Amino acid sequence: MKNQIAVVDSESIAEEMGIEVGDYLLSINGKIVNDIIDYKFLMCDEYVNVEIEKKSGEIWELEIEKEYDENLGIEFKNAILDKPKSCHNNCIFCFIDQLPKGMRETLYFKDDDSRLAFLQGNFVTLTNMKEEDIDRIIEYKISPINISVHTTNPELRMKMINNRFAGNIYDRLKRLAGAGISLNCQVVSCPGINDGEELEKTIEDLYKLYPQIQNLAVVPVGTTKYREGLYNLKLYDKKTAEQQLDKVFKLQQKYLKEIGSPFVRLSDEFYVLAERDVPLSDFYDGFEQLEDGIGTIRVFRNAIENSLENLKRNIKGSFTIVTGVSAYEEIVKGTKRICSANNKINIQVKKIINNFFGHTITVAGLVTGGDIIQQLKDVELGDYVIIPNVMLRKGYELAPNDEKVFLDDITVEELSKGLNRKVIVCDFTGEDLVQIINDHCEEE
């Protein structure tokens, strides 16, 4: 198998050995490199024999002595050196099934690839893996792996995922945990299906595999307006969100006494729906589950408080921050703290109603460029518009792509033209918000 090299890092082993962009990696220590996992594993030796095919067709055999954890310093044209493995499930809550027609093709690709769970943090169900795939994870000690569990009830999991092979999840988790593989788990909680007593059993089952299962994230199911012909799902409301929080709280208190960690955490959406404040920073243990929307509110508050002293007092300017419905109140509170520290700075926050996917979708990460333009085109916006980077997606594209684009294919540049304002992309945790304000205000 020939793997074309797309990037050679400066001052790397590859550059020193004369490897160039466009060359091909053929083998390491005489073994064919089938994918990125093979590459990373085979490169762990301190002495490696690397076979390279030059653009001219000449074959080079390079004997390399290096540090144990040092690689060649190359990136490949295809990031995983193989075709991604698609998902054969038909989950009742699958978001991709709820997309409208006419979007770019990559957004409709369902991946369930353990290599991407390791490399990019994607969650996999394990249902699309053969036993030899599990063997390789154990042999190569691939950790951590992010796994979508949803329930440990075999019959219920087969129903939820619509896959007759989905019921062996707990056996596979036990096998991986027994081999020392670190696991992060996720549950998409669907009211009346896998919540309540089912969720409590799932949490307790997974806790038995602690510390190999390091943590468990519980997120609420989301539905778009494009669900014709799909499973009839209910959504959480204030009452059911409160019930979920209360049930899980009892388990969290138990685990805190036993291991000093709550083990299971619910996403911020539950707290917003229940109109309850989020836990303090210590509860989140380093905020490792931010990608699941767990702790983002607390991180945002911390970012404002920790950076407020860096806000310049001799500047003035005006901004509009764009967000979704869920985060709106919290963003307003944060910007009021900034404006109270310097009353010459004016910040307004605009929540965007999600017309593209439907009003049941309230998170900032699914706001589209078209909705922003439509709802803000006639609004006085101040000097700059700020958006969180979670609004920008690339779909299922593994190759490097610096183009900043929304889910509806509107680019940041097109958004800027549509609003007639410069658009600034901010870290979704708000860590760079004060610096952005400092950089784009005028000194008095």
d(CA 339, CA 140): 52
Q: Report the DSSP pairing between strands 74-76 and 145-148.
A: unpaired
Q: Residues near 98 by Cβ (< 8 Å), separated by ≥ 6?
A: 223, 224, 226, 227, 230, 357
Share of the chain above pLDDT 90, in %: 69
Choice among 138-147, 184-193, 343-352, 380-389 with the minimum mean pLDDT:
138-147
Which two structure tokens, joined as six digits, stand for 386? 């700020």
Count of alpha carbons within 13 angstroms of residue 205, beta-carbon side: 20
- pLDDT digits over 186-224, tens only? 999 999 999 999 999 999 999 999 999 999 999 999 999
Query: In the chain, helix, strand, coil percent, each to 5?
Result: 35, 20, 45
d(CA 215, CA 206): 9
Choice among 243-247, 362-366, 404-408 with the minimum mean pLDDT:
404-408
Query: What length does the chain have?
Result: 444
Choice among 101-105, 304-308, 376-380, 393-397 with the minimum mean pLDDT:
393-397
CATH architecture of 96-293: Alpha-Beta Horseshoe (3.80)
d(CA 264, CA 284): 10
Q: 424 pairs with which residues across the strands?
A: 386
The closest alpha carbon to 79, from 124, 111, 31, 125, belongs to 111
Please state the domain extents for the chain: 3-76, 96-293, 300-443
Which two structure tokens, joined as six digits, stand for 4? 């074309």
Q: Residues near 180 by Cβ (< 8 Å), separated by ≥ 6?
A: 141, 143, 212
Q: 60 pairs with which residues across the strands?
A: 52
Share of the chain above pLDDT 70, in %: 91
| Distances, alpha carbon 176 to alpha carbons 22, 85, 89, 127, 133, in Å | 38, 20, 21, 14, 11
Question: Residue 348: helix, strand or coil by DSSP?
Answer: strand
Question: Residue 254: helix, strand or coil by DSSP?
Answer: helix
The predicted pLDDT at position 394 comes to 54
- pLDDT digits over 354-377, tens only? 999 999 999 999 999 999 999 999
d(CA 89, CA 110): 9
Would you tell me which CATH number, out of the four given (1.20.58, 3.40.50, 3.30.1380, 3.40.1000), belongs to the domain 300-443?
3.40.50
- pLDDT digits over 34-92, tens only? 777 778 778 888 889 999 999 899 999 999 998 877 888 888 876 554 455 556 778 99
CB 76: neighbour CB atoms within 10 A? 20
- pLDDT digits over 304-340, tens only? 999 999 999 999 999 999 999 999 999 999 999 999 9
Which two structure tokens, joined as six digits, stand for 350? 């605009």
The predicted pLDDT at position 87 comes to 67
The predicted pLDDT at position 399 comes to 39
> Do 348 and 382 touch, CB atoms closer than 8 A?
yes
Tokens 């219920």, residue located:
156
Which two structure tokens, joined as six digits, stand for 188? 């998409």
> Do 112 and 148 touch, CB atoms closer than 8 A?
no
Common-topology check for domains 3-76 and 96-293:
no
Assigned CATH topology for domain 3-76: Pdz3 Domain (2.30.42)
